[in-house]
Amino acid sequence: MDAQLAALGDATRRAILERLLDGPVAVGELAREFPVSRPAISQHLRVLKRAHLVVDQAVGNRRLYGLDPAGIDGLRTYFEKFWTHALAAFKKAAEAQRSEEGE
């Protein structure tokens, strides 16, 4: 989880992940969409791949990068804990306020 969270600490990597929501794409195509060089995009993809957030697949002479469903699901599970806790706290606060107003 630490590698995933560290990978998400960079705005370009987050933008790459958002772009990959539309489907797999080659490095060259990604590089045309971002204001950084192709080698920089490749480095970001390496970090994301090591963090299990993207996977790559050879298609002809290109490598297509897409989201890693297992890694993304792990992140979702991690953040869902916080969301569940926040909702429970909100419910408790709302019920306490309703109880105070009813007295």
Distance CA 26, CA 65 (A): 6
DSSP symbol at 73: H
Q: Write phi, then psi, for 64 (nearest 5 degrees).
A: -100, 135
pLDDT tens profile 27-42: 999 999 999 999 999 9
Q: Is the pLDDT of residue 66 over 90?
A: yes
Q: What is the mean pLDDT of residues 78-98?
A: 85
Q: Is the pLDDT of residue 102 over 80?
A: no
In this prediction the pTM is: 0.79
Per CATH, the number for 2-102 is 1.10.10.10
The CA distances from residue 74 to 13, 19, 23, 33, 44, in Å, are 17, 19, 19, 27, 20
| Bridge partners (DSSP) listed for residue 58 | 63
pLDDT tens profile 5-34: 999 999 999 999 999 999 999 999 999 999
pLDDT grade, residue 83 (50/70/90)? confident
Distance CA 37, CA 20 (A): 18
pLDDT grade, residue 103 (50/70/90)? low
